Amino acid sequence: MLRRISLRTAAAACLAVAALTGTTAAATAAPGTPDHSPQPRRTQQVEYFTGPGGHPRHTTVPAPKPLSRSAKAAIAATDGDVTPIVQNGPVGDKLDVVFIGDGYTATQQEDFHADVRAKWAKISAVEPYASYTGLFNVWAVDAVSNDSGVSGDPTNDVVRDTALNSAFFCDGTERLLCVDTGKVEAYASKAPAADLVVVLSNSTKYGGAGYNDISSQVGYDGIATASSDNDRSDQIAVHETGHSLGKLADEYDYGESGTYSGPEPTETNLTTLSADQMTAQRQKWYRWLGQESPDGGTVGAYEGGGYYQYGLNRPTENSIMRSLGREFNLPGREAMIAAFYRHASVLSSPVATDRALRRGDRIRVSLPTSARVKWYVDGREHKAARGRTAVVPRALGVLADGYSHTVTARATDRTDAVRHPAVRKLLSGKLSWRIAP
């Protein structure tokens, strides 16, 4: 059964970018009368990219038919081998990313694993991923296709038989790379845990998609699709995780799209307020105003965003939530770090905490480079051990006195990329071990 989002997850209000929706149900027929009224067309909203460097767009596409029980059973019984790509700790302490391949035949699964490693290397080179790689586990789930490659590559008339039905020219849009999300869910459930799912489609063609508000149906933070062998498709995946993990809004507009007149957006990177109003009201990204941002320029209030040309302000001129190839701006980076810590713990250890240790056992912990660990014996800090990632209870002063003792590690991430007090509370954690007499 697919693990649901960790209980550490704070409620994050968000305006959906890619919502799984259904149309209004048909009217109910009179009792005893067959209902011949047309059935509603189930649809999904997706985000896609028209080309490298271009702003994303949104569209509505037909939703796949729900998988039958027999189809789910067939996947469970015959396919979906899982390979760990990155293992940094227990699934309960890490953010688990699941890659599923499509358009790879039985003899190409090692190629898929190599593509996962290459794609994750590019994704995790982007900040703030780069500073927090130790918070992630990465899994590859094999989906064996009858044909190599995907439909719509290179042209619309190309049809291939693949496990997840990956296809360009989705609903007539060439760069939109759609998948059967029901089949994706079935394969994702094979992984030990899933907080984020990426479908790698076996193709060199530029394209992808984001299904970013289906978490209520699938239990993880969205699905991104990307071409396996296109050197820009990783940017699509990073942008989509800004929505699915960071709950960030798009910072672009549609040109002649009018003026926003609605309520204050719930996303952290859009506001109806000016810079002076944010400061006076202590709202949104006021803590970052005037700071140099990694995406270039100074944090302020730049008009245009959330698909509107006027009436909404974004933090910087051009972050990755506006154009691919950019960095997250400072408010966006903070939101992503908050998302990491809603799924992962600042402190993890391969040494189990549910069994007693001996005085001579070695205790090891891992934590981000921006975090610092302190060690305690029965509540008293052993100051000489500050910053150590491995200790031995005996060296901490645990005595062989016939009594049980408790060794505790406490860690706090001191990153300067987080300023919001509520987020800072997520950046601390502890682990404890009982030391037997």
Domain co-membership, 170 together with 45 = yes
Residue 381: inside a domain:
yes
∠ CA(219), CA(225), CA(228), 5° rounding? 135
Ordered DSSP codes for 87-112: --S-GGGSEEEEEEEESB-GGGHHHH
Domain co-membership, 149 together with 185 = yes
Write out the H or E segment, with its range, that includes residue 58: strand 56-62
- Burial (CB < 10 A; 0-12, 13-18, 19+), residue 57, is middle
Q: Give pLDDT, residue 41.
A: 59
Residue 278: inside a domain:
yes
Last residue of a domain, one of 222, 244, 266: 244
List all residues 6 or more positions away from 33 whose beta carbon is below 8 Å from its beta carbon.
none
pTM assigned to the model: 0.86
Q: Give pLDDT, residue 24.
A: 31
Q: Give pLDDT, residue 26.
A: 33
Domain co-membership, 222 together with 302 = no
Strand partners, 357: 435
Domain co-membership, 126 together with 189 = yes
Residue 403: inside a domain:
yes
Domain co-membership, 187 together with 238 = yes
Residue 146: inside a domain:
yes
Total domains, the chain: 3
Residue 187: inside a domain:
yes
Strand partners, 141: 82, 100
Residue 144: inside a domain:
yes
Q: Tokens standing for 145?
A: 């296709």
CATH number for 197:
3.40.390.10
List all residues 6 or more positions away from 390 whose beta carbon is below 8 Å from its beta carbon.
362, 363, 364, 365
Domain co-membership, 86 together with 219 = yes
* Tens-level pLDDT at each residue, the chain (437 residues): 333 333 233 333 332 333 322 333 333 333 343 444 444 558 888 888 876 666 778 888 888 888 888 887 778 778 899 999 999 999 999 999 999 999 999 999 999 999 999 999 999 999 999 999 999 999 999 999 999 999 999 999 999 999 999 999 998 999 999 999 999 999 999 999 999 999 999 999 999 999 876 654 556 778 999 999 998 888 989 999 999 999 999 999 987 778 999 999 999 999 999 999 999 999 999 999 999 999 999 999 999 999 999 999 999 999 999 998 899 999 999 999 999 999 999 999 999 999 999 999 999 999 999 999 999 999 999 999 999 999 999 999 999 999 999 999 999 999 999 999 999 999 999 999 999 99
Domain co-membership, 162 together with 294 = no
Q: Give pLDDT, residue 3.
A: 35
Last residue of a domain, one of 197, 213, 244: 244
Residue 352: inside a domain:
no
Q: Give pLDDT, residue 219.
A: 67
- The domain of 263 spans 253-324
Residue 57: inside a domain:
yes
Domain co-membership, 205 together with 266 = no
- Burial (CB < 10 A; 0-12, 13-18, 19+), residue 425, is exposed
Residue-level length of the chain: 437
Domain co-membership, 219 together with 270 = no
- Locate the DSSP E strands across 316-404: 363-364, 371-377, 380-381, 390-391
Last residue of a domain, one of 244, 269, 288: 244
Domain co-membership, 157 together with 305 = no
CA-CA distances (angstroms) from residue 249 to 167, 243, 277, 376, 430? Answer: 26, 6, 20, 42, 33
Domain co-membership, 305 together with 410 = no
Decide if 148 contacts 101 (C-beta within 8 A).
no
* CA-based nearest residue to 92, from 27, 1, 7, 157: 7
Domain co-membership, 173 together with 265 = no
